[in-house]
């Protein structure tokens, strides 16, 4: 059994990690750390886990007791944690923050999008889990970059559920504001643009075009619906063949002829893509669960790869479609 530690255990991503790992046949949770909840039962914070676990939060991690740790802290906190603690080299790290996603001198983390870096992930020890918007948008475009046919700007309009803002309440996540409401934020300057561009250039080094990204706060709880379009000279059938070929051996990405909706993927690690051709534009619709394929599910997928397990272990989850 893989012994797992979770750092920063009170938030949404940690809660989803715990839920998945409690039902994972090859992994066992050794501890869940939370400074603000130390000593309290986990199910007093994650109320959906009542009756599922008797674990309590701990104040300090025990690195000698684990094979892997998941860092579920706010952006900037993971780097501080790693610099502050002596983590044994044998302990693998999967970081769910933004801290190590961009390549930089001294950064030995591998960008953990399996549909881009699966073979490198298998032999790595430190993984930077991708952002939620970044995952859905990249999956919509990677086959074009891999074929070297990104020849113009990429336009993205994507809406996310309120859980994407994290568990700590704010004005724009408060129910009375979010319900029956929609708003744009961080237009053209979202923090995920850097990692998206980095991945496109990894597959197509000549890519030097703008990614025009309009993020939208939705009035639903979870799920991302991304509408992506760019120039494409080929036919719709050629585009479908390209996408189906690229994702043929990736078990969580599906190309469908039907117009998708968010409920098809909520509570799963799936990404569902739909292609349409409109004149010289290829439209790609991409739907994902921001907390699973966009965070905790993908983190478990990465753990499976790190330890040589079936990629889908623990992730055969049914969508909440009604």
Residue numbers annotated as active site: 132
Give the other-Cβ count within 10 Å of 150's Cβ.
22
**Of 310, 295, 51, which is closest to residue 160 (Cα–Cα)?**
295
Beta-bridge partners for 154: 211
Cα angle at 17 between 34 and 28, to 5 degrees? Answer: 90
Q: What is the distance between the alpha carbons of residues 157 and 184, in angstroms, rounded to a whole number?
A: 10
Contact 313, 24 (CB under 8 A): yes
Q: Give residue for tokens 């063949």.
A: 241
Give the other-Cβ count within 10 Å of 300's Cβ.
27
Three-class secondary structure of residue 119 per DSSP: helix
**Of 14, 9, 18, 61, which is closest to residue 37 (Cα–Cα)?**
9
């Amino acid at each position: 059994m893989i012994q797992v530690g979770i750092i920063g255990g009170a938030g949404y991503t940690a809660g989803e990690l715990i839920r998945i790992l409690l039902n994972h046949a090859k992994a066992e949770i050794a501890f869940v750390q939370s400074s603000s909840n130390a000593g309290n039962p986990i199910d007093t914070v994650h109320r959906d886990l009542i009756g599922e676990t008797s674990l309590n939060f701990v104040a300090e991690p025990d690195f000698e007791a684990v094979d892997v740790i998941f860092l579920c802290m706010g952006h900037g906190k993971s780097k501080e944690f790693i610099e502050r603690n002596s983590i044994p080299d044998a302990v693998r790290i999967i970081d769910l923050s933004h801290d190590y996603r961009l390549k930089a001198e001294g950064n030995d983390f591998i960008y953990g999008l399996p549909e881009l870096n699966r073979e490198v992930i298998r032999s790595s020890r430190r993984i930077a889990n991708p952002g939620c918007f970044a995952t859905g948008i990249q999956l919509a475009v990677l086959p074009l970059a891999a074929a070297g046919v990104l020849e113009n700007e990429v336009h993205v309009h994507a809406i996310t559920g309120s859980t994407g803002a994290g568990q700590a309440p704010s004005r724009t996540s408060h129910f009375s504001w979010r319900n029956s409401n929609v708003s744009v934020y961080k237009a053209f300057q979202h923090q995920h643009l850097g990692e998206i561009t980095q991945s496109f250039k990894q597959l197509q080094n000549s890519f030097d075009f703008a990614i025009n990204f309009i993020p939208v706060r939705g009035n639903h709880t979870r799920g991302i619906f991304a509408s992506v379009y760019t120039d494409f000279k080929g036919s719709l059938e050629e585009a479908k063949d390209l996408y189906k070929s690229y994702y043929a051996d990736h078990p969580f990405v599906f190309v469908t002829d039907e117009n998708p909706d968010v409920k098809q993927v909520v509570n799963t690690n799936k990404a569902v893509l739909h292609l349409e051709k409109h004149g010289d534009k290829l439209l790609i619709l991409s739907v994902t669960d921001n907390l699973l394929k966009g965070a905790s599910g993908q983190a478990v997928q990465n753990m499976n790869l790190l330890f040589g397990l079936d990629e889908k272990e623990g992730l055969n989850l049914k969508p909440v479609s009604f």
